[in-house]
Amino acid sequence: MNQGFGFLDDLAVREIRRGLLKALAIPGYQVPYASREMPVARGFGTGGLQISLAIALPRDRLKVIDQGADDSVNAVALRRFIEASCPGLETTTRTVEATLIQTRHRIPEQPLSPGQVMVYQVPYPDPLQIVEPSESRRRRCHAHGDYARLWVRLYEDMVRFNEVAISNRYPARVAGRYVIDPSPIPRFDVLKLHQSPVAHLFGAGREKKLYAVPPYTDVEPLAFSDVPFAVEPFRDATGARRTCARCGAADTYLDELPQVGAASRWQCNDLDRCAERLGYPGDSDHDEHHAGP
Amino acid sequence: MGYVAMRGGEHAIAEALNALDLLRAGATDPGADPGEALTIAAIRHQLRLLTDRVMGEGGLYAPDLAALAIKQAHGDPLEAAFILRAHRSNLPRLGTSPVHHGGELRLIRRISAAFKEIPGGQRLGPGTDYLQRLFRLDLLNEDPQAVRAAVARILGDEIQTKIPAMEFPGVVAGLRQEGLLPPSRPAQAAIDITREPLALPVPRPARLAHLVRGETGGILAMAYSTMRGYGYLHPTVAELRVGYLPVRLPHPLTGELVEAGEMLITECEIVATHGGGPGKGGAAGKEGGQPRLLLGYGACVGHNEVKAIAMAMCDRAMLNGDERGPAQPAEDPEFVIALVDGIESMGFCSHYKLPHYVTFQADLENLRQAAHRAKGAL
Amino acid sequence: MMNTTPVLEVRNLTRIHGRGCDLCRTSTGDAAGTNTCPHCGSVVAIADVSFDLWPGEILGLMGESGSGKSSVVRLLHLDDRPTAGTARFQEAPGFSHDLAAIDEAVARRLRDTRFGMVHQNPHLGLNFGVSAGGNIAERLLCAGERSYAAIRALAGGLLVRTEIPRHRMDHQPGAFSGGMQQRLQIARAIAPSPGLLFLDEVTTGLDLSVQARILDLILELQRELGAAMIVVSHDLGVIRLLAQRTLVLRHGRVVEAGLTDQILEDPQHPYTQQLVGAAL
């Protein structure tokens, strides 16, 4: 390949950076952009990838996670591609060391600190898509702050299930104005966006949109005043909070690993955080027996 | 043990490539000779329609690269087009050509369904329309000598490498002169859809650009819907042309237009005899009070007649939608252009193979909680 | 206590579809016997419609299909914009808007909180994909209500008020009878207690007994809410029962205006005479 640092050509870098500046200036607003075709398939993170490539600097330390894991195949493939196209850039699996974190479906468990940047891979940038297929009509709704039909969806869920049945991509209002699709992170992670000290950049490559939650910005999940927003409880039959079978944490998002002829095993989804707690920082591979029989 | 939670994604990816290479070499087939390589030239000629399709959907006229992509993608047209597009993504724009016209084509094929005879003449050219789809067993074990002999028999001594240019007035030009077609719309500037964000409502140049790169099957399905009850198009193929288009570019120093090369394209104009169907006024063919024919335009890279015709129908259907509001899916530009891109839809369909266990766990937690509450309520 | 300013002051409201020309107005209308301009082919949906609507008043718009009565409602409900003319809506004493030149965001707020619309076709007025309660909830949510319990209570009350059994609240409108769908539209329209209601052929196509109940309901609600209403109908009976004053439209022009009783007893315009005569 004849490309320079970051694979993208200068025009693409400039367009994406400008788009991101606009996105940060208008929190939650979806900025349309041309979205380059990447050597990675649409749906596999081309939006997040373009952001990472457009903003990465040689001094950055990059962490790429998919489902909370640094070593799942897609995270590996994306990290390898970024490493190859950004000579000098370091990579890490440790959240605390990373300056740039590209993610799919999770926000790391460890608190983020100022200066770090989160980059999200986004399949559906528009929370209104579940109630309105036409993009021109959706843009009009956003312009008017018209989220009534989203609210009706919540109402209908309450009627039918006595709770809001949206488990991920939970719509959240940013800075009191635009409602965003926070990407398919679980509810557990949505609250981490509120008044977060870092910039959260969202890229939807296939849908060709960029949007952002700037640092220290209000993010509130849509919820009725008398039906509080609740996160995944992770409770066992007795009502007790489940804990990680490896590190014992009782405050993390858990993966359930079904076992043959036995109860499921539960363990931290964020393997880096788990390794930190176990005292093997940066070595999420340390414990081998998690894979089960 | 699933591939997701498995350690060493790195190793798995390397092994996947090895497995692909083994399969391509036919290493699992005792009858295959792993050394029997497909040459790029063989792909380009003997799989020429596939090569054309890949160039069209890949958005780059580069026959050798398309052939290489086909080889690399084991013959999967979408994968091959994807490789071409990824390569094209960052290529610099060296120049912008002026608008070219179909009248400049060096034709290999030209047909009109609208008239028995057309000025400039019908030319059947290479096409399978009137061939019986029966196996040609002589291709089973082709002898190069026999192939050369056949070529000599067909061409005799007059081996021509250059298709001569010829003058021909377009079929629709005559209809337009007669006032049966509305005057040409003023030319709109082309839109580079890979460099500019999508504008809504989608301008026609952007729609056509999306269709040019659209997946043949997707466009065909969309067009077929308009003929199959989800629309009321009754098209007549006014003209279908296949030929080599000389491409002119401004010279980087003098700015003068010079012929930089040529590309094979397929171009189609359909006329819809009557818009009709429910909707305001019924006759979409009424512009300014006088009933007229309606035009639809399609053009694509390479020889791909179905795509050009289907594209022209989609164009017409969307123009109908502009006039009286989209009444059918194919009349809605947002719907059409979002769905016809095979590389995007393929990517998104494939992405469901990626691990989704975090969201699935969230679903499970939600369901269990609901079940728990329901039990408590009983 | 009586507010002495009209809720609506409509002056020369005009809507031309098409490019329009200088001759459009003079070559269409009642005398010309057509809506379509012979010079440019544009359709003059309405021209020079003027009237006042007073608080608590019910105004009838009468005319055959194509006369322009629904165009007037579309313009006033801000579903369309006029080619010319003004329509001043008084939102509160001393606070009014010209509906002909209004900002999109204000238009939305007015539609959400100050206006109510009931269509002839329930598919235009209801969302058939959500429950009856959800249809009402949408209006309450638009008006800013965010308590689920309050929405349930208010929606339930509105259903009962419009004679829909409360236990049908969580059913979808597709399972409702035609009369019930219209009552649900009314419940939805009045949910935010709007000051202005538009009723466009709301009883057309319903059984007579069902019609009568709905018309009674409208009169009762008008007394309870004190809302001004514009009632569009081609049915003399509906106009006679509901409207205090009436405009008769033909080919996009007001051809007769006045007290409903007067118009029906002593029609002046030949067209009105013909209408009244046909009904007798």
Across C31-131, where does the E strand assignment appear?
A: 43-53, 58-62, 84-92, 95-98, 115-118
C130-187 pLDDT, tens digit per residue, is 999 999 999 999 999 999 999 999 999 999 999 999 999 999 999 999 999 999 999 9
Which one of C148, C154, C168 makes the best mutation probe of the A interface by having the most chain A beta carbons within 10 Å? C148
Q: What percent of chain B has pLDDT over 90?
A: 54
Closest-CA distance, A75 to chain B, in angstroms, reads: 9
C145 within some domain: yes
Tell me the C-alpha distance between B321 and B301, whole Å: 26
A11-21 pLDDT, tens digit per residue, is 999 999 999 99
User: What pLDDT score does A41 carry?
Assistant: 92
Question: How is A126-150 classified by DSSP, letter by letter?
Answer: -GGGGT---HHHHHHHHHHT--HHH
Closest-CA distance, C142 to chain A, in angstroms, reads: 6
B312-351 pLDDT, tens digit per residue, is 999 999 999 998 889 999 999 999 999 999 999 999 999 9
C262 within some domain: no
Q: Mean per-residue pLDDT for B7-35?
A: 82
Tell me the C-alpha distance between C156 and C150, whole Å: 10
User: Which residues have CB under 8 Å from B174's CB, separation 6+?
Assistant: B119
Interface membership of B6 toward A (CB under 8 Å):
yes
Interface membership of A152 toward C (CB under 8 Å):
yes
CATH number of C130's domain? 3.40.50.300
- Select the residue of B89, B198, B348 nearest A38 (Cβ to Cβ): B89
What is the complex's ipTM, to 2 decimals? Answer: 0.90
Note whether B194 contacts A68, CB cutoff 8 Å: no
The answer to whether residues A77 and A39 touch, using CB atoms and an 8 Å cutoff, is: no
What is the sign of the dihedral through the CA atoms of B322, B326, B329 and B335? positive
A214-259 pLDDT, tens digit per residue, is 999 999 999 999 999 999 999 998 889 999 999 999 999 999 999 9
Q: Mean per-residue pLDDT for A253-275?
A: 94
User: What pLDDT score does B377 carry?
Assistant: 59
Q: Length of chain A in residues, anyone?
A: 293
**Statement: residue A285 has pLDDT above 80:** no
3-state secondary structure (DSSP) of residue C38: coil
Question: For chain A, what is the mean pLDDT?
Answer: 93
Note whether B9 contacts A206, CB cutoff 8 Å: no
User: What pLDDT score does A260 carry?
Assistant: 93
User: Which residues have CB under 8 Å from C217's CB, separation 6+?
Assistant: C162, C163, C183, C186
- Chain A residues with CB-CB distance to B373 below 8 A: 162-163
Domain of residue C121: give its range: 103-195+205-233
List subunits contacting chain C, requiring 3 or more Cβ pairs under 8 Å: A
Closest-CA distance, C233 to chain A, in angstroms, reads: 31
- Select the residue of A39, A76, A187 nearest B13 (Cβ to Cβ): A76
Residues A266, A272, A275, A281: what is their CA dihedral angle, to the nearest 10 degrees? Answer: 180
Residue in chain C nearest A156 by alpha carbon: C134
**Statement: residue B1 has pLDDT above 80:** no
The amino acid sitting at A186 is P
**Statement: residue B170 has pLDDT above 90:** no
C250 within some domain: no
A112-133 pLDDT, tens digit per residue, is 999 999 999 999 999 999 999 9
Which residue has better confidence, B193 or B30? B193
B63-73 pLDDT, tens digit per residue, is 999 999 999 99
State the helix-helix crossing angle for B48-58 and B63-72, rounded to 10 degrees. Answer: 100
**Statement: residue B160 has pLDDT above 70:** no
- Chain B residues with CB-CB distance to A167 below 8 A: 359, 362-363, 365-366
C78-135 pLDDT, tens digit per residue, is 999 999 999 999 999 889 999 999 999 899 999 999 999 999 999 999 999 999 999 9
**Statement: residue B189 has pLDDT above 60:** yes
- Chain A residues with CB-CB distance to B92 below 8 A: 9
User: What pLDDT score does A124 carry?
Assistant: 96
**HEC states along B82-111?**
HHHHHHHHCCCCCCCCCCCCHHHCEEEEEE
User: What pLDDT score does B8 carry?
Assistant: 65
Please count the structural domains in chain C.
1
The answer to whether residues A147 and C142 touch, using CB atoms and an 8 Å cutoff, is: no
B248-289 pLDDT, tens digit per residue, is 999 989 999 999 999 999 999 999 875 444 433 334 444 445
User: What pLDDT score does B175 carry?
Assistant: 84
**Statement: residue B5 has pLDDT above 50:** no
Name the region of B219 (left: φ>0; alpha: ψ -120 to 50; beta: rest): alpha
User: Which residues have CB under 8 Å from C245's CB, separation 6+?
Assistant: C57, C59, C60, C257, C258, C259, C260
User: Going from the N-terminus, what domains does chain A have, and what CATH number goes with each?
Assistant: 10-128+168-216 (3.40.50.11310), 235-284 (no CATH)
C248 within some domain: no
The helix (H) or strand (E) run that includes residue B205 is helix B204-212
User: What pLDDT score does A192 carry?
Assistant: 97
Closest-CA distance, A166 to chain C, in angstroms, reads: 17
C67 within some domain: no
Interface membership of B7 toward A (CB under 8 Å):
yes
- Catalytic residue IDs of A: 28, 244, 247, 268, 274
User: What pLDDT score does B277 carry?
Assistant: 43
Which residue has better confidence, C1 or C178? C178
Residue B294, strand partner residues: B272
C238 within some domain: no
B107-141 pLDDT, tens digit per residue, is 999 999 988 888 888 888 898 888 889 999 988 88
C184-210 pLDDT, tens digit per residue, is 999 999 999 999 999 999 988 888 888
Q: What angle do CA B138, B140, B145 make, to 5 degrees?
A: 60
**How many Å separate Cα A76 from the centre of its chain?**
17
Residue C275 binned pLDDT confidence (cut-offs 50, 70, 90): confident
List subunits contacting chain B, requiring 3 or more Cβ pairs under 8 Å: A
Note whether C148 contacts A148, CB cutoff 8 Å: no
- Chain A residues with CB-CB distance to B344 below 8 A: 42, 206
Question: For chain B, what is the mean pLDDT?
Answer: 87
Residue in chain B nearest A43 by alpha carbon: B348
C28-55 pLDDT, tens digit per residue, is 988 888 989 988 889 999 999 999 999 9
Residue B208 binned pLDDT confidence (cut-offs 50, 70, 90): very high
- Span of A45-54, A198-207, C235-244 with lowest mean pLDDT: C235-244
